[in-house]
Amino acid sequence: MQEGITGGYFPGPSAPRMIPVEENTDSPPNDYLDVSPCGKYIGVVTSRSDITILKADPNFSIPGDKPIKSRTVKLAMKKNSSEVFSLFFYYDKITSTNFMYIAASDMIYLLNIDKKGDKEKELSLAEIGVVPGGVNLDQDTGNLIVSQAYHSDQEIPPIGESIYNLYNEPIIKFFSEGKRIFTKLYGKLFVIVTEKDQQKKHYLDVYDTSVGISFYSASYEEVQDIIIDNNSIFLFVNHLTRNHVPEKELIKLTEITVGEKIRILLEKHMYKEAESIAVYAE
């Protein structure tokens, strides 16, 4: 069987079709791909340092869009131990340009896929360690959120979230302590799952980054995955019953209104934070 991925849009019996991906013996740590807005391009991690960009359908075109050729991009890794594990397409409406953020184990790259050649730009703050489940892109703003451990001479380096952008220097934000399991974006909110104690429990915090407040916290035996919907956060968790029998559960979280947020903050005598929420919501 030919190795590849399905894609493109062909009505009738010809759908779906197979898009072949060149097999590489230098296998990536995880099979990862992303699809560009409108489904025009597909990006696949094909080895530890290679990204293959494919055109999903040769007959599919968007008026005014710049066509690109399918090609493989080989990143100039600084370390032999480095590996690419996720990538994100981003279309910049200001310049009408297609970009790709690439997250490797110790580096963040930015690639302009409209330009000829494979010149990438390093976006790292410093030598870093990126959490595989802690990378997410806000398609509205173009901000890439990355959970990472900053290397230093300290025995335990600090862990925080960095915000990468096409036009600005990266920003570091420090929230809860602990080993990062997941970092997701829910609109302008950060959804962070950490492992903080020797019992290996997972702790969920939902932060409003505009005011630096955690609006929701909970603990679980294990958070297996998080899926963000337009209006909800879905958690796939494991927990133990009273008889210590493991069970799986799907939990749905929905955001409360601005008025409810302000009421809760006022009840806790957090007047400055309530004022910030009110101003930010205007």
Say how many C-beta atoms besides its own lie within 10 A of residue 144's C-beta: 24
H/E stretch holding 278: helix 271-281
Domain ranges in the chain are: 1-174, 177-282
* Cα–Cα distance, 203 to 219 (Å, whole number): 4
Confidence band for 229, pLDDT divided at 50, 70 and 90: confident
Average pLDDT estimate for 172-191:
85
Confidence band for 8, pLDDT divided at 50, 70 and 90: very low
Cα-based torsion angle of the residue sequence 272, 183, 281, 142 in order, rounded to the nearest 10 degrees: 130
Say how many C-beta atoms besides its own lie within 10 A of residue 128's C-beta: 18
Please determine, for residue 243, whether its predicted confidence score (pLDDT) is greater than 60. yes
Confidence band for 139, pLDDT divided at 50, 70 and 90: confident
Say how many C-beta atoms besides its own lie within 10 A of residue 34's C-beta: 18
Contacts of 166 (CB under 8 A, 6+ apart): 90, 92, 99, 110, 142
* Cα–Cα distance, 43 to 99 (Å, whole number): 11
pLDDT for 51: 82
Do the Cβ atoms of 134 and 115 come closer than 8 Å? no
Q: Which residue has the tokens 């690639």?
A: 111
Residue 51 CA from chain centroid, whole number: 17
Average pLDDT estimate for 218-241:
88
Q: 200 — alpha (psi -120 to 50), left (phi > 0) or beta?
A: left
Q: Which of 198, 201, 203 is nearest to 240 (CA)?
A: 201
pTM: 0.76
Q: Which residue has the tokens 């559960």?
A: 249
